[in-house]
């Protein structure tokens, strides 16, 4: 094969397969419960990442935070797709985390393609924030925000950050979503009332 033939095949492969590449993101703050590579993988499976082929290596990181205060969230999107993010908190079990939201799709020759997913205008427990970082263009810098933590006592709460991807094909492990989690040890602020809307942490 002539050298330029190989180059041409490589270009054709990129054109054909690039649209199928999934969006990826890294959880920079707080520290993730899984070791992430430079793309943030493994991150497909809900509710907290991994894949069916790679469950991931735990970091064993426990982020110590103050209840009733703002928690800084910092994400880096490593492969672009339009979309938005949702943040939720489980006190006792991952089963408390909400399911992935519904997705509107359109039919294509390659199968269903994601169009949109609803955003809660008034998020309810266990969701802390929804519709974060809505974007339709690539951003080189990180996404950052602060979310209000409930004033509760929790040794190992599970913070979930979920990304919805528009203009994306269905992926076997995560549908149209990618997921990361972090373990939080929440100490209540003694100067504030305990937030009774949240479930009590079981020993």
Q: What is the rounded radius of gyration, in angstroms, for the C-alpha atoms of the chain? A: 19
Q: Please indicate, yes or no, whether the overall pTM of this predicted structure exceeds 0.85.
A: yes
Residue 109 has pLDDT above 60, yes or no: yes
Q: If phi over 0 gives left and psi between -120 and 50 gives alpha, with beta otherwise, what is residue 50? A: left
> pLDDT tens digit string along 6-63?
443 333 333 333 334 456 999 999 999 999 999 999 999 999 999 999 999 999 999 9
Q: What are phi and psi of 14, to 5 degrees?
A: -65, -45
Adjacency order of strands within the sheet including 177-187: 63-66, 177-187, 154-165, 83-90, 127-135
Q: From CA 14, how far away is CA 8, in angstroms rounded?
A: 10
Helix, strand or coil, per DSSP, at residue 113: strand
Q: Whose CA is closest to 108, among 156, 190, 22, 170?
A: 170
> pLDDT tens digit string along 61-97?
999 999 999 999 999 999 998 999 999 999 999 999 9
Helix, strand or coil, per DSSP, at residue 57: coil
Pull the structure tokens for residue 28. Answer: 């920079």
Q: From CA 123, how far away is CA 74, in angstroms rounded?
A: 20
Give the per-residue pLDDT at 16. Answer: 34
Where does the pLDDT of residue 129 fall: very low under 50, low under 70, confident under 90, or very high at 90 and above?
Answer: very high
Q: Which residues contact 124 (CB under 8 A, 6 or more apart)?
A: none
Give the per-residue pLDDT at 149. Answer: 98
Give the per-residue pLDDT at 22. Answer: 52
Residue 1 has pLDDT above 60, yes or no: no
């Amino acid at each position: 094969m002539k050298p330029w033939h190989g180059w041409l095949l490589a270009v054709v492969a990129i054109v054909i397969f690039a649209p199928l590449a999934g969006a990826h993101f890294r959880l920079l703050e707080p520290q993730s419960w899984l070791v992430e590579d430079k793309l943030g993988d493994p991150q497909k499976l809900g509710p907290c990442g991994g894949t069916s082929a790679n469950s991931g290596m735990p970091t064993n990181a426990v982020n110590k935070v103050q209840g009733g205060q703002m928690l800084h969230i910092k994400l880096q999107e490593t492969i672009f797709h339009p979309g938005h993010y949702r943040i939720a908190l489980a006190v006792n079990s991952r089963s408390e985390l909400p399911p992935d939201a519904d997705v509107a799709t359109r039919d294509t020759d390659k199968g269903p393609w994601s169009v949109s997913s609803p955003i809660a205008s008034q998020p309810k427990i266990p969701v802390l924030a929804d519709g974060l970082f809505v974007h339709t263009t690539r951003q080189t810098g990180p996404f950052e925000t602060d979310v209000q933590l409930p004033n509760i006592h929790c040794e190992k709460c599970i913070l979930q950050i979920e990304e919805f991807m528009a203009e994306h094909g269905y992926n076997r492990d995560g549908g149209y979503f990618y997921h990361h989690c972090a373990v939080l040890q929440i100490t209540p602020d003694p100067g504030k009332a305990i937030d009774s809307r949240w479930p009590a942490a079981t020993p």
